[in-house]
Amino acid sequence: MAQNKKKVAVIGYGGMGGWHTKHLLVSDVAELAGICDIAEARRERARERGIYVYKSFEDVLADESVDIVTIATPNELHMPLAIQAMEAGKNVISEKPVCMNSGELEKMIEASKRTGKLFTVHQNRRWDCDYLMMKQVYASGDLGEVFGIESRIQGSRGIPGDWRRHKEHGGGMILDWGVHLIDQMLGIVYDKKIKRVYCRCDHITNYEVDDGFKLDLYFEDDVTARIEVGTSNFMSMPRFYMTGTNGSAMINTWTDNCKIVCCKNWDEKDVVPVVTAAGLTKTMAPRDEKTITESEIVRPESDVHEFYRNVCLAVDGKAEQIVKHDQIMRVMKVMEAAFRSDELGAPVDFEDKIC
């Protein structure tokens, strides 16, 4: 019912602020109170769309009808705006990455505890179908003991030409895409601690911040995860690849189902060798239907607005927030370890706690 809906103000009416307002305008649990942006052009765009425009951030905080503030500004502003909002009695959703570093995050978590206000991060890619399928495959045990997982996002347009190019605004691909893919990987490998982190950053179109990276997470029990983001890849490798002692799974692109191949006969006698210029190989010969089973997981139904539904329930103490403080901190610590490893040019040890 409309009168029970939580009122949300969106701070920053750019690309992602626009996404939030669009979803809030049709939400079953929340309604848009209005937006606030420092750029007149953005404010004018909101007015044209019939959206209420607050004069200032302070004006938002003074509006007693606002329950939740969603912060969708460049990254360096998340912490100060979030703390100010919680201190003014507002619940806060911060866009990802939650802030610039773990020191800032500690202050945000402290403010949430001190004020008793909800504080969470919009990790909307927890509702991505490709991720949900990979999570399902890992948890099913169908591949035997999983020992390798690869998650990739590759484009060819370089790093966006806005604040994302600059360090002072929290630019770079680790903070931009890495934060999603790390959060997802920790959701997939839900049962193991990370022991070591190794990362190499790319600087192909930009020197100030990374415009891509290759990040290896070494989990306990010899499980290795590779997370790769590229902005200069004119052909893409599969979105996800997972392999275990009894089979492999792959998702090619965002929109594909998950393909699974498992071994059903280890005692194959008649391997047909592959002929290469250098000679024959049986070791690397492909398998045929006599020794494998092929199956598919069909993309599940997923509704990203579950995020807002959860936040609205959590504000009333009727649900636990899905994106939790210790998870947000764990992702931040992995990103910091990645930066440290890239600087050192070597793997770094990681003190971990599953959460």
Residues that bind ligand NAD (CB under 6 A): 11-17, 36-39, 42, 57, 72-75, 77, 95-96, 122, 124, 162-163, 176
Q: Which is nearer to ligand NAD, 76 or 268 (CB)?
A: 76
Q: Which is nearer to ligand NAD, 16 or 199 (CB)?
A: 16
Q: Which of 13, 24, 17, 354 is nearest to 189 (CA)?
A: 354
- Dist. CA 157–CA 231, nearest whole Å: 6
Q: Which is nearer to ligand NAD, 227 or 249 (CB)?
A: 227
Q: Which is nearer to ligand NAD, 91 or 248 (CB)?
A: 91
Nearest approach in angstroms of CB 249 to ligand NAD is 25
Q: Which is nearer to ligand NAD, 96 or 333 (CB)?
A: 96
Nearest approach in angstroms of CB 344 to ligand NAD is 26
State CA 171 to chain mean position distance: 16
What separation, in Å, do the N-terminal and C-terminal C-alpha atoms of the chain show?
Answer: 35
Nearest approach in angstroms of CB 52 to ligand NAD is 15
Nearest approach in angstroms of CB 198 to ligand NAD is 25
Q: Which amino acid is at 290?
A: K
Q: Which is nearer to ligand NAD, 85 or 297 (CB)?
A: 85
Alpha-carbon distances of 353 from 79, 148, 331, 339, 350, rounded to whole Å: 24, 20, 11, 20, 10
Nearest approach in angstroms of CB 232 to ligand NAD is 20
Q: Which is nearer to ligand NAD, 15 or 103 (CB)?
A: 15
- Dist. CA 48–CA 335, nearest whole Å: 39
Nearest approach in angstroms of CB 334 to ligand NAD is 17
**Residues 332/301, Cβ–Cβ less than 8 Å:** no
**Residues 172/162, Cβ–Cβ less than 8 Å:** no
Q: Which is nearer to ligand NAD, 83 or 146 (CB)?
A: 83
Q: Which is nearer to ligand NAD, 79 or 194 (CB)?
A: 79
Nearest approach in angstroms of CB 125 to ligand NAD is 7
- Dist. CA 187–CA 197, nearest whole Å: 17
> Half-sphere exposure of residue 293, counting CA atoms within 13 Å on the CB side?
8
**Residues 328/98, Cβ–Cβ less than 8 Å:** yes
Nearest approach in angstroms of CB 155 to ligand NAD is 14
Nearest approach in angstroms of CB 121 to ligand NAD is 9
**Residues 193/217, Cβ–Cβ less than 8 Å:** no
Nearest residue to ligand NAD on Cβ basis: 14
